[in-house]
Amino acid sequence: MASRIEQIIEEIEEYIDGCKFQALSSTKIVVNKEELEEMLRELRMKTPDEIKRYQKIISNKDAILADAQQKADQIIADAQTKADRIVSESEVMQKALEQSNRLIEQTNQQAQEIVDNATNDSNNIRMSAIAYTDEMLDNLEKIMAHTLDTAGTRYTNFINSIQSCYDIVTKNRRELSPQVAPSVSYTKTADDPVSDEEPDAGKEEAKE
């Protein structure tokens, strides 16, 4: 059964595949910012829960060993009680002692096998949980890296498009009124911070 993080990653991939391409472009797509941010927000919220769940699986190792040790101790105690009873009830003390020693040896061996098997099982669970968690985080890291690269490219393309429109408007104004200097001379660079007001400012100049 897939974890919620895997499901969210698949939803993000399906969402990206389902986005429409921008006009006159076969590589740029139009995304709904709120929908994408909501999926990424849920991904960030679910990641700690998934990691805690696998940490809990790893922590069960001590419980498995403790339970195995308790069973082993109980087997040894029962065997010792049975051996004591054999010795006390047997008329042939030597034979009873030999039987009790063999019984104790067998039960000690059985108890050790239970502890060894429990140790192997718990180690296997721990390694599987660590491997799965690492794979999950690796997928998450790739998704986030891809998202950052895509967002950076789209931002740069948007700024270049705005700059091109701004240059055209400025050129047209100069051609209409060569004696009038442009009111604003500004070149946007990819290093400038994002501002929701700047594209509107460009539109106001275009209207003038």
Domain count for the chain, please give it.
Answer: 1
Which residue type does 159 have?
Answer: I
DSSP conformational letter for 188: -
Report CA-CA distances (Å) from 124 to 57, 61, 74, 131, 137: 11, 10, 26, 11, 20
pLDDT at residue 207 in the model: 42
Q: What is the C-alpha radius of gyration for the chain, rounded to an integer number of angstroms? A: 36
Evaluate if pTM is beyond 0.85. no
Label residue 175 by pLDDT band (50, 70, 90): confident
Selection from 15-19, 182-186, 188-192 with the highest mean pLDDT: 15-19
Tell me the residue range of the domain where 182 lies. 4-207
* Percent helix / strand / coil, the chain, rounded to 5: 80, 0, 20
Distance CA 35, CA 26 (A): 22
Retrieve residue 71's tokens: 């069973």
Residue 1 DSSP one-character state:
-
Q: What is the pLDDT of residue 138?
A: 83
The per-residue DSSP string of 134-153 comes to HHHHHHHHHHHHHHHHHHHH
Here the tokens at position 103 are 């019984």
Q: What is the pLDDT of residues 120-136, one digit of tens each?
A: 888 888 888 888 888 88
Distances (CA, A) of 79 to 11, 63, 68, 113, 207: 58, 24, 17, 16, 97
pLDDT of residue 36: 78
- Write out pLDDT tens, residues 150-169: 888 888 888 888 888 888 88
